[in-house]
Amino acid sequence: MVKLSGPAAFIYDDSVLKYDFGDDHPFKSFRVRMTRDRLTGHFKDLHIEPARGATRAEAELFHEPGYLDLVKHFSKIGTGLLDGGDTPAFRGCYEASLNVMGATLRAVETVLDGEYAHAASFSGGLHHAGRGNASGFCIMNDCAVALAWLRKLFGKVAYVDLDAHHGDGVMYGFYSDPGVIDVDVHQDGKTLFPGTGSHLETGSGEAKGTKLNIPLPPGSADDVLVSLFSELAMPFLEKTKPEFMIVQCGADGLKGDPLACLSFTQNGYLKVIEALHEISHRVCRGRIVLVGGGGYRPEAAAECWAGEYMALSGKAQTCGTNASTSLPSVLRKAEVIKSAIRENHPQLSG
């Protein structure tokens, strides 16, 4: 029997709250503080570890130097757009982005150094930023930097993305790298930003078969999430056997989120996190780090992340809501995509 209990670091200090686009923007960094506040009611000794700022050299593990210079320029000006309109610059955005990145790297460090069995840094998860561009509220891609760093240490690392929006910055940033195993469960890109993440995209060259996209039809509820994850993602991770796992826990798949059209509850997300926690102990010695992401109802996102951290810590979970179920029409569409993935993915076909 694999032992699943063990302390998990919660990476937080107020420096991560400086990643702030303003009151009128849907991205709210204070969700992380709300998560911490919920957890203090469940733990006598919450294992809070302070964040740290990432260095320029660490940022350049993924990002192009010229792009970082551009962000630094706009950071000093304090205004302007870093992409087509979703990601405005603000004064100090360069340093704030490095704070978020550093918090994610600190989470990875605590696990690598053996300080903690697992870690969570819910200020991170900025998965849309590319090597040379901002996108979708993401200025710098902390997930990608952490993966690039881990690739120096391990032959295979896994990135699992649960955000309603496809993690395009990470997937295409490592699309030809066979050492980055990428599982991305998201609302079908035909119906949601950034419009990517087809099930036919499985990697290129030597990396073909190392990426798994699971696009879900709008309206998908817990039954679809849990079914497709257990039947597709779990066997894929079992087969590829990564040595470290980063999980992007975007909570915008929760029913009622204003920027997506999925119908998950905390029940569905918890079942997935519990499954990932269990498999991490079997394939990568429990080396798993959770990061945040989307989730545009702050109270709901904080409640979801608190539950996921508790699950990672081995604390029994009870949900105040019942698991959600999909309409028959949605279930039929989900069955079609599941069959298509099994027929076409190099690791799952045959």
Q: Where are any strands of DSSP class E within the chain?
A: 8-11, 48-49, 118-121, 157-161, 180-187, 211-216, 245-248, 288-291
Closest CA to 249 of 144, 160, 148: 160
Whole-number Å distance between alpha carbons of 297 and 282: 34
Task: List, in order, residues 6 or more apart from 260 with CB less than 8 Å away.
Answer: 164, 165, 187, 192, 252, 253, 294
Whole-number Å distance between alpha carbons of 242 and 155: 8
CB atoms < 10 A from the CB of 189, how many?
Answer: 18
Torsion sign across C-alpha atoms 321, 159, 210, 190: positive
Q: Identify any residues that bridge with 167 across adjacent strands, giving them in sequence order.
A: none
Cα distances (Å, whole numbers) of residue 178 to 110, 128, 232, 280:
26, 20, 19, 19
* Catalytic residue numbers, as ranges: 128
